[in-house]
Chains A and B, each alone.
Chain A
């Protein structure tokens, strides 16, 4: 099994060669773990490597940036040697007389450090002692936050890089290539030749719109594969509505967009309008600065439009627990934390969460700064509310906004309202008339002459009899009104009118306006405090809204609101936002970021493989009006992108991860794209856009969580079964299972890069999932529907073209011919299997049910094989 997860350098310890071994290890799935190596230095003790991590893990909590017990601070050089109230902690060269060692070694529980925790092992203490004996050398700059922070490349503004000189001047098509080629020439590598036109076209389609090209589109491009034709195709695909659907996927991973709350019961929430907003914004190529501002603070813009309010759904996606007995404030705090962390990940490429509990150990962010950012998000209302006072039942109650009625709904509502007018008027009169008989009815009730009914069950009769047994003046107003109500519910005329009205009102409710979750500010802002150790029940110092010191300053007149924050995030002076975003684009296309740890540009992240290229792209992105489409176009127009993705032995050895970009990208498609592409080649794909989520077929009994109000998986019918993956309902505790098998996240958290695994569950999904069998059946019917007497070989060629945009080799064709012949032969004798495979079928428009079912079933086997090929689910 191969794991490709570029979220951190540690995870990159399975290079290409590892894949071979990993696959070879019959120990399937999980590879053994790789905890960090236990380091026993044989040479001198290295402070940064050996000692400081021990201090950080065991001491900084109380003797670090946030707390200095006994006046002692151990995380910085100067403070360390100054010591605390008991004097210096160490005596250089003499561990035996150093306080630090005495306290670490003490047998007295009250004396020994760290308190209330496991003591350091004898080896660990010996290591610290040896460091002291060797002179307690603390090298310049180690652990010194000012130096580490300000000097780190990511916190300095990108500078226009010089164009490097290259020898092979004919290769570059644009600036990207110059940077890439310069590096390759330095490394002594050659770029790969251009990809074959068909391969390139399929790659381009999958990258820009997430769907494969049609056979006609491939043929047209093969006829004219000129750079001009390529560029025209790029422009056409960028303008396609399918573009936004494809590129929304990775943004929605960042936005942790889902259709449910998470936690117990995991009830559904309505916020698909936000998903549609993202798709539309990408299709409109909304500039990234505007895209940012509207999502962070659209509601605070002057005269905010409906769309700008919908956009704020970005931060209404955090999970929310509404199980009985929850603490609404704890929920809210968790949500604000999620908003701060996600904002930092998406716009600053920074892992800020560490600073929630203590000052960041590696990056220059203090705990106080964390809560200054927290203050920007701290003024939204609670989202969970007790159903009634003192009740233990809670409801989701976050601010939501009604969307305008669709024309169809408006029509329906008007019609129902009109139908309601008459019975409503009649009811008033009928009630007045009926109440004249109330006394008689009461007498009958007392006499036991009223029969129980649906409207008035026996136990209610008993209760009413008890009321009537009391003297009239002792009957309360409430009891009187109940009597009247039950009487009117049973009296024939009023009962019928009430039923009519009830039915119509229910229908009206079904045509109510859709809603979506939005951000709003409370009229009275909250105070923000630092939470000691991140605990919301332990508020510390008060703080006000502000931004981290190490980054660009807020303008003088910046407002202390989310709008002020949004403008600061997207300020051209921000060294990170543009770099992080172009790195997202790069990752989506090349499979690996220029910064491989796309969620962490900090000191623990991986350094950029092509720093000048990253800066050039970031600056160009900003200079070019933050245009997503033009940036993506720049990437795909490069010669770097258009290289063949073949892996030669030399490249496999030199650069298995393709960090140097001496070949084109080849990797498995994301979960949704695999399904979308399958639906496209089988002709089933619906291109209907937007609206409430859809429920394609999934195995039964997957939605069976505990809790009140658990939703039901109501399988879609008709074209909704075949819409793109971006519209499939995303329920956090049980996401769509075939997507999960292909590494889709549960969307409970912001995810920058999905892992890319290769497992037997994926094989089982593509082989057996009813959804993929349905595709194979439709694809087979499509193949049989081609006109004219076609040979098997010709049909196989067509099938290959549809799935892979290329002709099969002779060997490939014969594999499928053999399979076809064999299955045709066997199925001719097995009517039961034929019926099982073909008895029900969704067929593409214009495709007839094939007359020869056995023939159809045989082709289904061929189609099943084709939809399972590694190449089919990969971009080459």
Chain B
């Protein structure tokens, strides 16, 4: 006797009811359910043994979910921490002098070949907020929310070329083939919205050198890869019906497909067909849910003013507002990539326009999330694959550029369990080396997973005979920045 389609679908309905009330605990519950299924023996359709523990279940100690969503802002190319976050008076003082021999010796840089000059920032810095954290004048909006942020001034990575460093930053490994951060989190926690993917990516400008691998699933099941949402053309590839097929016609065709699939299910009994039927229903729901999400003309004027958004545009500001809408809908991991931060040529000319595009909407996002009570459960990360050198590239005085710097750079985080108005880690007086609390990319990943309630050593996937982790064999949780 095969299970009839009715039986299979009844099963679907029952579990859908069960899952519809899932919150953050739902993820753990979902995992428990999957665990039960895993433990179920052939011979019964009912789970038969208690679930194993999952990485999301509370563990003794400090491992508890502090955040449930992540908005990850990747400034592709590597913004200059020296001109944005790192005020270095000594560097300004010694501007134009050759960099010290002891720092130059043995140094490998991507572009600079001759011992370069030190390059003080041409931008003034000032202290802001109660925390008194210093920011350059390029970030007036961020200054308004500086007390919400934790700056990590001691990030370092292993790669000084863009594509490998981007892979490192997102997959923990400088070559292709590993799953990205967002896909690990999707794998670990699942989604809270039945109509949207758990991992969404939006790009402004060209796509970074590492390409789709920055949101790929590597050896994890492909369902965990990031789905690119686009503000130009179809918001998700193949989402829109072709010309001449309106939603009602699509519905009728879909009903025919489902009926035929049910006939087949009754005949051959392969439960994969039941899954296919439910995936077609999900696809149909997505066709409504995604455009509704992407169309923010229903946002009030003050919101547009806050973010600097205008409907119909393709801009980083629009993507920030969309990120908030995605978080509201329970999307787990949202990655915004913004191209254009690779200021080899002219920091003074290149950096201000990028800041004008991004500063206001980023600050707006923090404020908006806070007002809505979402900042506590959302971790916002601002970072890049590496930073920039305190030395000049080129010899054009204040119009010089900066090369890639992998040994010390700055990222910041806000919300979701991190301290407010806090600086973690420190570099030397020239901003060249880290002198306090270094945070390797693996440490950053371990910390981020920890904030989501995941033990980075427990989130593993067996592939080709080995249990892989996002943090490979490294990763130290930086507890010092937890609120």
**A: which residues have CB within 8 A of B?**
1-3, 5, 7-11, 13-38, 57, 117-118, 262-266, 319, 321, 323-327, 334, 345, 351, 353-354, 362-363, 390, 392, 597, 599-600, 602-605, 645-649, 652-656, 666-668, 699-701, 704-707, 732-735, 737-738, 740-741, 743, 746, 748-749, 752, 755, 757-765, 767-770, 773, 809, 811-812, 815-816, 818-819, 822-823, 826, 832-837, 857, 861, 864-865, 868-871, 874, 876
Number of cross-chain contacts by CB at 8 Å: 423
Distance of A800 Cα from B55 Cα, bound (Å): 48
- Find chain A residues with CB under 8 A from B30 CB: 25, 27, 31-32
Complex alpha-carbon distance, A116 and B215, angstroms: 31
Taking a contact as CB atoms closer than 8 A, the residue among A13, A263, A865, A869 that contacts B164 in the complex is: A263
CA distance A779 to B193 in the complex (A): 37
Q: B111 — which chain A residues lie within 8 A by C-beta?
A: 324-325, 392
Chain B residue nearest to A771 in the complex (CB): B238
Shortest Cβ distance from residue B212 to the other chain A in the assembled complex, whole angstroms: 6
Assuming A757-B223, A763-B279, A769-B238, is B213 touching A35 (CB within 8 A)?
Answer: no
With most chain A CB atoms within 10 A of its CB, the pick from B44, B184, B238, B460 is: B238
Closest to B19 in A: A26
Size of the B side of the interface (Cβ < 8 Å), in residues, is 140
| Pair B268/A29 contact, Cβ less than 8 Å | no
Complexed CA–CA distance, A705 and B175 (Å):
17
Q: How far is the CA of A762 from the CA of B184 in the complex (A)?
A: 21
Q: Report chain A residues within 8 Å CB of B282.
A: 28, 760, 763
Instruction: Flag if A654 contacts B43 (CB, 8 Å).
Output: yes
A769–B236 Cα gap in the complex (Å)?
11
Chain A residues with CB below 8 A from B286, complex form: 760, 764
16 contacts between A and B (CB under 8 A): A10-B467, A14-B37, A17-B271, A21-B34, A23-B274, A33-B188, A35-B459, A118-B477, A264-B161, A392-B111, A707-B209, A748-B213, A759-B279, A764-B283, A837-B244, A868-B253
* Given A17-B45, A653-B44; 15 other pairs, CB 8 A cutoff: A24-B12, A27-B19, A27-B194, A30-B199, A33-B184, A262-B176, A263-B209, A323-B161, A666-B268, A706-B209, A757-B221, A809-B263, A833-B246, A857-B244, A864-B253
Minimum distance in angstroms from A21 CB to a CB of chain B: 4
Q: Flag if B404 contacts A325 (CB, 8 Å).
A: yes
Q: How far is the CB of A129 from chain B (nearest CB, A)?
A: 18
**Complexed CA–CA distance, A520 and B352 (Å):** 50
Q: 8 Å CB contacts to A: which residues of B89-103?
A: none
Given A13-B38, A705-B207, A809-B263, A768-B239 contact (CB < 8 Å): yes
Contact with B233, one of A603, A700, A732, A761 (Cβ below 8 angstroms): A700
Contact A264 B162, CB 8 Å, known A602-B465, A768-B241, A812-B263: yes
Q: Of A19, A701, A770, A876, which one neighbours B274 at CB under 8 angstroms?
A: A19
Q: Which residues of B contact A (CB under 8 A)?
A: 1-3, 8, 11-16, 19-20, 22, 26-28, 30-31, 33-38, 40, 42-45, 52-56, 59, 76, 108-111, 113, 160-164, 175-177, 184, 186-199, 205-213, 216, 219, 221-224, 227, 230, 232-234, 236-246, 249-250, 252-254, 256-257, 259-261, 263-264, 267-276, 278-280, 282-283, 286-287, 339, 404, 455, 458-467, 473, 476-477
- Given the known interface contacts A25-B19, A25-B30, A760-B282, the answer about A869 and B260 at a Cβ–Cβ threshold of 8 Å is yes
Q: Which of B189, B250, B269 contacts A646 (CB 8 A)?
A: B269
Q: A647-B2, A768-B240, A837-B244 are in contact. Are A733 and B194 (CB under 8 A)?
A: no
Bound state CA distance, A17 and B270, in angstroms? 11
B257→A868 contact, CB < 8 A? yes
Q: Whole-angstrom distance from the CB of B219 to the nearest CB of chain A?
A: 7
Contacts of A118 in B (CB 8 A): 476-477
Chain B residues near A705 (CB-CB < 8 A): 206-209, 211
A91 to chain B, nearest CB (A): 29
Report chain A residues within 8 Å CB of B175: 319, 334
**In the assembled complex, which residues on chain A have CB atoms less than 8 Å from the CB atom of B55?**
33, 35
Tell me whether A652 and B3 are in contact (CB under 8 A).
Answer: yes
Whether A18 pairs with B45 at a CB distance below 8 angstroms is: no
CB neighbours (8 Å) of A666 from chain B are 268, 270, 272
A732 to B209, CA, bound (A): 11
Residue pair A26, B339 in contact (C-beta under 8 Å): no
* Nearest CB of chain A from residue B77's CB, rounded to whole Å: 8
On chain B, the residues within 8 Å of A655 by CB distance are 42
Shortest C-beta distance, B92 to chain A (Å), equals: 27
Please state if A604 and B208 are interface contacts (CB–CB under 8 Å): no
